[in-house]
Amino acid sequence: MTSPRWWLLVLALFGATKGEWNTKDYMKREHSLIRPYQAAGMTIPYWDFGGSTMVTNNYVRLTPDLQSKQGSLWNSVPCHVRNWELQVHFKVHGAGKDLFGDGFAIWYAKDRMELGPVFGNKDFFQGLAIILDTYSNHNGPHNHQHPYISAMVNNGSLHYDHDRDGTHTQLEGCEAKFRNLDHDTHIAIRYEKDTLTVSTDIANKAAWKECLSVKGIRLPTGYYFGISATTGDLSDNHDVISVRLFELDLPNDVKDNEDRSNILPSATYFESPREHVDDPKPSSMSGIKMFFLMLVAALALITAVVIGIMYYQKHQENSRKRFY
Ligand SMILES: [Ca+2]
């Protein structure tokens, strides 16, 4: 994957400050958030924020490290770019060593600025969510460790199930230890020719590592980019340092003039869903009760077998009598 971030580093070394790279990918200023954020007063050009979100000179804090907070940050300009890469420089940190949460989500969605239960955004959303879940709500057997990054596409009909950490609606996911790191942490969401690829740069190597890649994703144009976060009983600071959107230049791409402004978001391939079984309830039966129940069941089974054999033998005798 070609990475505009490499060029960012190269340009930084040469002291270049223009938002236009040497590649043919263009950064779209109206969908990006770069320091200094505030032009005048308390507003950020092209961005709105709500809930607990606080803007400082160096970061936008969606939630502080306090319980029961929800915050969001939304681009106010709908995105009409067909192939894009969104890069988010973020920092999740807090005092909790073992207990922290809940995480944050990056959105490309139809509706904006609606706080709700899905990492600070509304449920039954229309669009794409990249979820960076730091807390495992699921006590049963899990396929993965947390923090966990996953992708979800929703046409408005799917519910995000926190009890299963969204595992039965996710497209794909990966484990990513991005919390409480001293170095910078980045995520890139690339949407190119209906393929969604999510990569992380959290190992302080200035290189992208692929987390997930899914083909057959159809997203409408004209949706909004946003980021939201939430804390519950557990908490963390969820900070956004920058957001950069690049329009991808695909020179060999046959011009596709399909009007995508009115389609519903859809995904061709979902991860084979894990069965939605309830966690085993702790048995209210004591061991002795259980033993007797098993004993009675065993006796009943033996009795049934014995009766069955007797009946069979009798039947055989009768048949023989009939035949001979
Ligand atoms: Ca969770």
pLDDT at 40: 58
Do 253 and 290 reside in the same domain of the chain?
no
pLDDT at 21: 45
Q: How many domains does the chain have?
A: 2
CA of 237 to the centre of ligand 1 (A): 16
276 within domain boundaries: no
300 within domain boundaries: yes
279 within domain boundaries: no
Do 196 and 297 reside in the same domain of the chain?
no
Retrieve residue 84's tokens. 């894009």
Q: Would you say residue 317 has pLDDT above 90?
A: no
The model's pTM: 0.78
What would the pLDDT profile of 247-278 be if each residue is shown by its tens digit? 998 887 666 678 999 999 999 987 765 555 55
274 within domain boundaries: no
What would the pLDDT profile of 114-124 be if each residue is shown by its tens digit? 999 999 999 99
Residues 62 and 93: their CA atoms lie apart, in Å, by 12
272 within domain boundaries: no
CA of 303 to the centre of ligand 1 (A): 50
Domain of 118, CATH number, reads 2.60.120.200
pLDDT at 323: 52
CA of 63 to the centre of ligand 1 (A): 16
Q: Would you say residue 192 has pLDDT above 90?
A: yes
CA of 24 to the centre of ligand 1 (A): 38
Do 252 and 296 reside in the same domain of the chain?
no
DSSP for 171-230, written as a single string: SEEEE---BS-SS-EEEEEEEETTEEEEEEE-SSSS--EEEEEES-EE--SSBEEEEEEE
Do 147 and 257 reside in the same domain of the chain?
yes
Which one-letter DSSP state was computed for residue 238?
E
CA of 181 to the centre of ligand 1 (A): 20
Do 44 and 161 reside in the same domain of the chain?
yes
278 within domain boundaries: no
Do 162 and 307 reside in the same domain of the chain?
no
Residues 60 and 52: their CA atoms lie apart, in Å, by 10
Which one-letter DSSP state was computed for residue 168?
T
Do 290 and 189 reside in the same domain of the chain?
no
CA of 61 to the centre of ligand 1 (A): 20
CA of 250 to the centre of ligand 1 (A): 36
Specify the residue for token string 């980019």: 225
CA of 232 to the centre of ligand 1 (A): 11
CA of 162 to the centre of ligand 1 (A): 6
Give the residue numbers spanning the domain of 161: 4-267
Q: Would you say residue 7 has pLDDT above 60?
A: no
Residue 209: partners with Cβ closer than 8 Å, 6 or more residues away: 199, 200, 201, 202, 203
Do 189 and 143 reside in the same domain of the chain?
yes
Question: Could you give the 3-state DSSP secondary structure of residue 296?
Answer: helix
What would the pLDDT profile of 68-98 be if each residue is shown by its tens digit? 999 999 999 999 999 999 999 999 999 999 9
Do 17 and 124 reside in the same domain of the chain?
yes
Proportion of the chain above pLDDT 70, given as a percent: 82
CA of 136 to the centre of ligand 1 (A): 4
CA of 122 to the centre of ligand 1 (A): 16
**By mean pLDDT, which of 119-128, 166-175, 285-294 is the weakest?**
285-294
Do 253 and 312 reside in the same domain of the chain?
no
Residues 264 and 126: their CA atoms lie apart, in Å, by 8
Do 142 and 288 reside in the same domain of the chain?
no
177 within domain boundaries: yes
Strand partners, 63: 238
pLDDT at 17: 41
Do 206 and 295 reside in the same domain of the chain?
no
Query: Which of the four pLDDT bands, split at 50, 70 and 90, describes residue 22?
Result: very low
